[in-house]
Every structure is written in structure tokens, then in C-alpha cells.
Amino acid sequence: MLRLSALYRYPLKSGKGETLQQVGLDKLGLDGDRRWMLVDEASGRFLTQRAVAQMSQLSALWNADGGLTLSAPGHTPIDIALPGSDAELRGVTIWRDTLRVPDAGDAAGAWVSEFIGKPTRLVQVPLDRARTTQAGYGKDDDQVAFADGFPLLLIGQASLEDLSQRVGRPLEMLRFRPNLVIEGSDAYAEDGWKRIRIGDVEFRVVKSCSRCILTTIDPQTGVRSEDREPLATLQKYRAEADGAMFGQNLVNDSNGRLEVGMPVTILE
């Protein structure tokens, strides 16, 4: 039997992940998932661990009211309120998308600037300012917050175990930053799924996930592996035109709730 074996949320894009037992869903995926982002103050361009490895040590906990608590080694934690309707809008760029989203204010800006080491701002995306998903996949009205391209990422537990065996050491699931982990399927079975149901929620599988250098960063220490693993191994046997593929991007077709242990049904 297939079951949902783990749930992860990343309130701040490229910050530490939260392990969840249950969570709600809205049009942008898991409640509170990647609704916040750091941007360079001058350019408005988004910041991630790809260029700023210390972001792996930045903990961001989502609060029930939509706010955020940031903490990091050597820094006093700060609680940040959800920006109000009168908040300043800041022009930001994430990949090829440009949008105007609420800025979290000067106190938040000062805290993240000190952590990053250069002038940085913290921004938040409300539902009415979300982006559309990557063109050519899914439906025209599919939306995404600050995730790279799609609201949700799924990985099969057996796929991680196969990759770990090929690399020759156990790999942490959080290297790959999934939202949903499925147990009970064969390795890479998720590659062939088109629609699944978990609880009362149906999901469309829209695109394989192309992996980058971020997978080589240890999620606990923030140190990048000298042997470029597991990306080097993925590139040997999972390479396609768009890159080395691992995991599947999903869009949820309704709101609802998920809980670890729920059965998973393959609809198509």
C-alpha cells in the first residue's frame, strides 16, 4: 500500500525545512510554504543557497497568523508580522518572473542584512500577487508562490534509497526539499504517475524536477560536498535535456488537509 510518509514545509525560500505531521492546502500548495523570500536590496533579485550557502542555517518557522519567526546561530530570533494591506510594495525578480510584493519592513530588513552580510530585504507573497506556473505545463490558471516553478514537490522514498545505494552513503531527504514523500512504491515509480489522490485531495503530476548544485549542500551543516554528490551520480543515470531529474512537481486541484500516514491512490 502507498502512504504519505513525510511532509515538509519551507516557509522561507531556501531556508531550513519544517517537518510536519499535518498541514492544510490552499491554491499555492501547503499553507505557508515558500510565501517568504530574501532579495538583494539594490536589484530585487531573489537569493537562495545556490549563491548564499549560509541560508541553509537560516531557520524560518511559519506562524498560524501567517507571520514568520527567523533564527540562526549567533543571531537573536526575530518575529515578523504578516505585512498589512498598507505595506510598501517592492519589485522583485525570481527567475524570469518580475512582480511587486509586500516588503516586511525595516526591522526585518536589518536582521536579514546582518545575516546575509549585504543589504537585503525580506518579502512576502499574498495569494492575489502569486505567479503563474511554468508555461507549457499544467493549466493556465495554476499559480505558485516563491517555489521555483510549481507549488509542490513529491519524491518516492524508494527513489532516495536507490540513489543512496548508487552514491554509496545514506542521503538526507531534505537535500532534495520535497513537500511530500511517498512510501511503498518502486524506485522512480512517481515518474509514471499523472494524477494521484491523498486523503480527499487530488493532485496533477505536471513535470519532473531538474536538480541543481543545491542538492550537494548538507542540510545540517551547510557544507557543500567536495565530490559533487549526489548530483554527479544523478547526472550519470537521470540526465535529460533539462538536466538531472529527481522527483515530480505537482499541482493540487483543491484545498484540504494532509496528514502523515494517509493512503495514496494512483488515479492515472
pLDDT range class, residue 51, cuts 50, 70, 90: confident
What CATH number should be reported for the domain whose range is 3-29+133-266? 2.40.33.20
Q: What pLDDT score does 137 carry?
A: 82
| Tally: H helices and E strands in the chain | 3, 21
**pLDDT tens per residue across span 198-235:** 999 999 999 999 999 889 988 888 888 899 999 999 99
Q: Is the pLDDT of residue 135 over 90?
A: no
Strand pairing report for 18-20 and 22-26:
unpaired
pTM: 0.95
Instruction: Show me where the domains of the chain are located.
Output: 3-29+133-266, 34-129
Q: In 3D, which of 11, 19, 24, 7 has the Cα closest to residue 256?
A: 24
The residue-averaged pLDDT of 63-81 equals 94
| Residue 261 identity (one-letter amino acid) | G
pLDDT, the chain, mean: 95
Q: Is the pLDDT of residue 59 over 90?
A: yes
